[in-house]
Amino acid sequence: DTGVSQNPRHKITKRGQNVTFRCDPISEHNRLYWYRQTLGQGPEFLTYFQNEAQLEKSRLLSDRFSAERPKGSFSTLEIQRTEQGDSAMYLCASSLGGVRSYEQYFGPGTRLTVT
């Protein structure tokens, strides 16, 4: 399977703990995106990378959130000092560049539950 993969699929953590999620994009895609989705809502954009450079961050991405994409391959999203409001599905997507950047391939997501 050469699609986008995300790990873990589920994460349960206690409030105040740090968590890290991983996304492996489609290998030839130079763009990688993170979205967050809460129950009953559409996904919300968090941030995106072109190769290893993080080029845009949403206001939703507070200082407790950090994302990296070393060497322009996989990406990690870390949440420090988790809060109950961080409970959501975290989706990763990848795409080619240019006008193809809107044809995104999504992973299955990581569901985070903060207790």
Contacts of 30 (CB under 8 A, 6+ apart): 50, 51, 72, 96, 97
* Residues 66, 57: Cα–Cα separation, whole Å: 10
Q: Given candidates 7, 22, 26, 44, which one binds other proteins under the rule CB under 8 A?
A: 44
Only segment of 13-21, 60-68, 70-78, 87-95 that touches other proteins (CB under 8 A): 87-95
Work out whether 61 is an interface residue with other proteins (CB under 8 A): no
Work out whether 31 is an interface residue with other proteins (CB under 8 A): yes
Q: Given candidates 61, 65, 69, 95, which one binds other proteins under the rule CB under 8 A?
A: 95
* Residues 48, 56: Cα–Cα separation, whole Å: 6
Locate 101 and state its tokens. Answer: 């950047």
Q: Given candidates 43, 75, 86, 88, which one binds other proteins under the rule CB under 8 A?
A: 43
Q: C-alpha distances in angstroms, 24 versus 28, 48, 55, 106?
A: 11, 14, 18, 11
CB of 96 to other proteins, least distance (A): 10
Work out whether 105 is an interface residue with other proteins (CB under 8 A): yes
Strand partners, 114: 13
Interface positions with other proteins (CB under 8 A): 4, 31, 33, 35, 41-45, 48, 50, 55-56, 91, 93, 95, 99, 101-109
